[in-house]
A and B are shown apart, each in its own frame.
Chain A
Amino acid sequence: MERETLDVDVLVVGGGPAGLAAAYRLARLNAEQGGEPLMVAVLEKARAAGAHMLSGAVLDPSALTDLMPDWKSRGAPLDVPVRDDRIYFLTARRALPFPVTPPPLRNHGHYVVSLNRLAKWLAEQVEAAGVDVFTGFAGTELLYEGDRVVGVRTGDRGLDRHGERKGTFEPGVDIRARVTVLADGVRGNLTKTLIRRFGLDAGRSPQSYAIGIKELWDVDPDRLPAGSVIHTMGHPLRHEEFGGGFIYALPEGRLSVGFVAGLDYRDPLFDPHVAFQRFKRHPLVSNLLAGGQMVRYGAKALPEGGWHALPRCHADGALIAGDAAGFLNSMRLKGIHLAMRSGMHAADAAFRAVREGDVSGARLSEYARLVEEGPIRRELYPVRNVHQSFAGGLLAGLLYSGMSLVTGGWWFRDPMPSHAGHERTRTVKRYFGGGVPPEPPGVPIDRALTFDRLTNVHYSGTRHDEDQPSHLLVADTDICRTRCIEEYANPCTRFCPANVYEIVDADAGAGKRLQINASNCVHCKTCDIMDPYQIIDWVPPEGGGGPSYEGM
């Protein structure tokens, strides 16, 4: 069967804030600079624009205002200004308010938003500006000529679970581009291969990640005024675990309730989903949610490594933007504005490179210069060691973070040394010093306040065609049932927030085996990040599959 090809000047992979900002900027440059307009296209794996977007979220509108000064009159969904910021330290029963809100967490002038609505609206603006947004198509591999990236191949459709062609088979399309902007999100599957091929992370700190799990709740509208922002530290996490909870109030009694846990925990039995349930059972949260209804669920990993963990973001014919690169300020708990800003810089560099007919990495390194000289470095450099300092525990992290506000982030060793999160997970034997590990803190599931993973997944609206090859490639499932079960007690069954991984009895009583429920996957990427043997490879399922976030 003939494979179709499409030629464009700039291809943006990923319809999130970074990719859409890049596309919009390119459309504006086309309009402002005159001449033959560049042809621009956006690939998005979700069936509808924004359907895979999930964030807290509190938006710093600075980048949006620079991208589109008239966002207000264009009906941007920034309806709820932050009215009130509170931080609590939680003990098992009590909530101790911080006397003052630290400057990085002050959100005056910011907005409580739904990222998935924001992305949907942004995609409409991009399409109205003349850019094609191809939803339902995932980029599955980069196309190269020599060492130059020349585009992306999209996934085949209509393969059955054994990889055989069904009646509906359609081969993927080759989209050839002079510059490819990879905005494929946290742990993006294409960015991952590009970084590996060219060693773009050489000499950089390893990227560290966290997982965010979130629910939308409908509660009595008088519970919490819209625009209220609450962050918590402490319970249910221990001193050694990084993370915390958030509650953002939207209008009409809708609450965005979530929990972020660092994917660098030592305890192999730690379970982020259980931690989230325990967070909801804390009186501070359960009192807000009492009598309410959980209406939506989702999860997504986020890059926390900051400035020192950014890879080189340019190669011949390619640029990396947004969460794919790691443009996120973990001290301010914000990344959307940096994602957009990086997309705008990438667009500027790509536009000039295409116009001048030189798309080499050297020419595209203008992107790095724009990042260095612009607001991104100004914001990220002073907090470059903050996330790493939490490796020493909560107290060390807080002390260093406070100090960095004065010192500009200086430390004796800069970059502060760090490890990839999955390397920090200890074996059961080592963590518990031999013997039988204590029963981890469980949580009663009442399906009113607390939910099991499978029920939660239902509320993510996740759909995949069941009859397709698994998109979670486990290189060696023997490791799961022989080594991992002994060494780490199969942490995939805990860190996956969507019940994708299960250890079940093998047929005919032959021990255990790994069961992969790929159709439950919410595309959070945690397994690809956190598996201790690094044998799980997340690749895109057939285009259009995945969660269907609405209002997240």
Chain B
Amino acid sequence: MTLVIAEQRGGVLNPATWETLAAAQQMNAPVTAAVVGARVQDTAAELAAADVAEVLAVEHEALEPYTPDGFVAALAQVVEATGPERVLFPHTYQTRDHAPALAARLGRVLIPDCIGSKDRDGQRVFVRPMFQGKFVADVLPEGPAPHFASFQIGAYRADACVRGAAAATVREVAVQLDAAAIRQRPEAPFKEAKQAVDLTQAERIVAVGRGIKGQEHLPLAQELAKVLDAELAASRPICDSGWLPMDRQIGSSGQTVAPKLYLAVGISGAIQHLVGMKGARTIVAVNKDADAPIFEVADYGIVGDLFEVVPAIVAALDGD
């Protein structure tokens, strides 16, 4: 059995959970999903739409708000009670926070940030990138089950998660937690930057590069992002010049994203940028240089002046 740990916050399911369920469904073993928190009945019901054997609703007052100690204690009990072959997580910040501690608590291996998995002679091998995506390594977990692994966001498609013919059963799982043993007391969440943006969650991204020429032309890209309901991002030179904040930078020194649509405007496609966005499902590039490497990864390419092409796209979409 493969146990997938869903992530929810305030009753809202993190969509990366569907991607991890998709990964689990391809492993030729029954899948069970578990969702952890103080009140998770709604998210558990939402998860039950997936083609899974059952959904475990793990509720306890001490699990809200999130603390690594609370989650490690609860998940350790769930894992011990259900005895899965493997436990999978979406590779979110929260997973990075508690999954290593959980694996260590149970004395099991954790293979983080995977992008795939395969069966090799009956053994489950996990695939993960190394050296900034230059290489991929096949990793065979050793030691007794369960093995822990987390999946990079965007490695699987959320809509690849197979839905069940009927809703799966939701089973409540009781856990024993001692609130006094939780050593962390979270403060109210805050975002450091005023408009901090999590580009990894964006479904559509419009990214601008040096072809935009000057900060005064940025509204053009902003307009395009608006009509597409997309987030605005940029290549390094734009953020380096301070035209956009650094949290909008895509690439090896910025964020790695995998949206459904990535529209690269005036980006030549240096490899440092490509490693941050090549996982996007559909890549559209606008560049006046037909030899620009961005066209090697683009699904659709427009060779042309962005100052003509972008307004035309905006006009076409606005007319809808």
Contact A508/B240 with A458-B272, A467-B246 known, Cβ cut-off 8 Å: no
Contact A507/B215 with A458-B271, A519-B253 known, Cβ cut-off 8 Å: yes
Cα–Cα distance between A217 and B215 once the two chains are bound (Å)? 41
B213 at the interface (CB under 8 A from A): yes
A193 at the interface (CB under 8 A from B): no
B131 at the interface (CB under 8 A from A): yes
Give which listed residue, B214, B249, B252, B293, contacts A508 with CB less than 8 A: B214
Task: Chain B residues near A517: list those with CB within 8 A.
Answer: 236-237, 240
B270 at the interface (CB under 8 A from A): yes
A197 at the interface (CB under 8 A from B): no
Contact A463 B253 (CB under 8 A): yes
Cα–Cα distance between A118 and B249 once the two chains are bound (Å)? 37
Task: Chain A residues near B253: list those with CB within 8 A.
Answer: 463, 466, 519
Give which listed residue, B131, B216, B271, contacts A455 with CB less than 8 A: B271
Contact A447/B293 with A455-B270, A458-B271, A519-B253 known, Cβ cut-off 8 Å: yes
Q: Give the shortest distance, in Å, between A474 (CB) and chain B (any CB).
A: 16
How many residues of B sit at the interface, in one of the four size bands?
20 to 34
Task: Summarize B's interface: helix, strand, loop or mixed.
Answer: helix
Task: Chain A residues near B132: list those with CB within 8 A.
Answer: 458, 461
A92 at the interface (CB under 8 A from B): no
Cα–Cα distance between A463 and B236 once the two chains are bound (Å)? 13
Give which listed residue, B131, B216, B249, B271, contacts A454 with CB less than 8 A: B271
- CB-CB contacts of B214-243 with A at 8 A, as 1s and 0s? 111000000000000000000011011000
Nearest-neighbor residue (CB-CB) of A548 within chain B: B131
A147 at the interface (CB under 8 A from B): no
Cα–Cα distance between A463 and B213 once the two chains are bound (Å)? 26
Give which listed residue, A447, A458, A467, A515, contacts B252 with CB less than 8 A: A458
Task: Summarize A's interface: helix, strand, loop or mixed.
Answer: mixed
Cα–Cα distance between A515 and B253 once the two chains are bound (Å)? 18
Contact A507/B240 with A454-B270, A454-B272 known, Cβ cut-off 8 Å: no
- CB-CB contacts of A489-507 with B at 8 A, as 1s and 0s? 0000000000000001101
Contact A461/B131 with A454-B270, A466-B240, A466-B253 known, Cβ cut-off 8 Å: yes
Cα–Cα distance between A504 and B131 once the two chains are bound (Å)? 31
Task: Chain B residues near A505: list those with CB within 8 A.
Answer: 213
- CB-CB contacts of B110-145 with A at 8 A, as 1s and 0s? 000000000000000000000110100000000000
Cα–Cα distance between A457 and B252 once the two chains are bound (Å)? 12
Q: Which of B236-279 contact A (CB under 8 A)?
A: 236-237, 239-240, 246, 249, 252-253, 270-272, 275
Q: Give the shortest distance, in Å, between A1 (CB) and chain B (any CB).
A: 21
Q: Give the shortest distance, in Å, between B23 (CB) and chain A (any CB).
A: 28
Cα–Cα distance between A457 and B132 once the two chains are bound (Å)? 13
Q: Give the shortest distance, in Å, between A460 (CB) and chain B (any CB).
A: 11
Cα–Cα distance between A519 and B254 once the two chains are bound (Å)? 12
Q: Give the shortest distance, in Å, between A73 (CB) and chain B (any CB).
A: 31
Nearest-neighbor residue (CB-CB) of B253 within chain A: A466
Q: By CB atoms of chain B within 10 A, which of A458, A504, A519 has the most?
A: A458
Cα–Cα distance between A508 and B213 once the two chains are bound (Å)? 9
Task: Chain B residues near A459: list those with CB within 8 A.
Answer: 134
Task: Chain B residues near A454: list those with CB within 8 A.
Answer: 270-272
> Which 3 A/B pairs are nearest by Cβ-Cβ distance?
A458-B271, A454-B270, A455-B271
B-side residues, CB < 8 A to A, are 131-132, 134, 210, 213-216, 236-237, 239-240, 246, 249, 252-253, 270-272, 275, 293
What are 13 A-B contacts with C-beta separation under 8 Å?
Answer: A447-B293, A454-B270, A455-B270, A458-B272, A461-B131, A463-B253, A466-B236, A466-B240, A466-B253, A467-B246, A504-B210, A508-B216, A517-B236
